[in-house]
Structure 1
Amino acid sequence: MESNLILHKLNRIEKHIFALKPILNVEELADYTGFKKSYIYKLVHENLIPFSKPNGKILFFDRKKIDEFLLQNATKSKDEIEREAIEFSLKKK
């Protein structure tokens, strides 16, 4: 039981280390995003995700660009929308 807990904690630490790396490979990206590797390859094939392929074989991903990709098409919260509506209405007066 204790060894399982240790392994679980080590896996969590490893995932946090990936978050600190500036460049990720496919396996690391899968761990970082929770996407399956097959889905990552599909995104690459359709040029929907930013990637680099410097030697023509191995895929690399810039973590900062991946973060931007993951956060695109964000939806505003109800509070943000209400705040913007109030600000807009105050500017109109």
Structure 2
Amino acid sequence: MENEIILQKLSRIEKHIFGLKPILNVEELSDYTGFKKSYIYKLVHSNLIPFSKPNGKVLFFERQKIDEWLLSNSEKSTDEIQAEAIEFAFKKKKA
């Protein structure tokens, strides 16, 4: 039981370290994002994810670009929309 806890903690540390590396390979990207490697290859094949293939065989991913890609097409929360509405209403009253 104690060994399982240690292995889980090591796994979390390893994933955190992958998050600090600026360049990731497919396996590291899979651990970083939680995507299966087959899905990553599908994204690469469809040019839906930013990647680099400097030698024509091995895929590399820039973590910063992956983070931006993961956060693209984000939706605003209800609280954010309400805050914008209130801010807009106050600006209209002042004008």
Range class of TM-score, shorter chain: over 0.9
Name the SS for the 1:3 alignment partner: helix
SS of the aligned residue for 1:51 comes to coil
Q: Which secondary structure does the structure 1 equivalent of 2:35 belong to?
A: coil
1:28 CA drift (Å) = 0.2
Q: Which amino acid aligns with 1:5?
A: I
- Name the % identity: 78
Q: Distance in 2 between matches of 1:6 and 1:22?
A: 27
**What pairs up with 1:1-93 in 2 under 5 angstroms?**
1-93=1-93
Give how far 1:92 is off: 2.1
SS of residue paired to 1:50: coil
TM-score norm. by structure 1 comes to 0.95
Aligned residues: 93
Distance in 2, matches of 1:82 and 1:90, equals 12
Gaps of 5+ in 1: none
Q: 1:8-40, CA deviations, whole angstroms, 9 ceiling, x for partnerless residues? A: 111111111000000000000000000000000
- After TM superposition, the runs of 4+ consecutive aligned structure 1 residues lying more than 4 A away are none
**Aligned-pair RMSD on alpha carbons?**
0.8
* Matched position secondary structure for 2:44: helix
